[in-house]
Amino acid sequence: MKFAKLAEKYKKLVDNYEQGRHIKPEKLGKLQQLLADKKSRYETKLESTMDPEKRTRLETRLKVVNAQLEKSKQLLSNN
């Protein structure tokens, strides 16, 4: 799944939660799996690239994915 689609899916789930809607644990679990996969993929790419521009972009995306993963864990525990 592309980064933009994953971010969109995450935003939709968080928006639903903030509006007081119940989020199914299965959806959060699937989101966490997708985020974990993306995180591992970015870490692998980061290790293999030497281009400073690509490294900066990957580091930024990795930070975003880590933050989303932590927030989804909080939502799962609050749910």
* pLDDT at position 37: 95
Q: What's the half-sphere exposure (Cβ side, CA atoms, 13 Å) at 1?
A: 19
CB–CB of 72/26 below 8 Å?
no
pTM of the model: 0.85
Percent of the chain with pLDDT over 70: 99
Q: Looking at the domain that runs over 3-78, which CATH code has it been given? A: 1.20.58
Highest mean pLDDT among 11-15, 43-47, 74-78: 43-47
Q: What would the pLDDT profile of 62-79 be if each residue is shown by its tens digit? A: 999 999 999 988 888 876
Task: State the first-to-last Cα distance of the chain, in angstroms, to the nearest integer.
Answer: 25
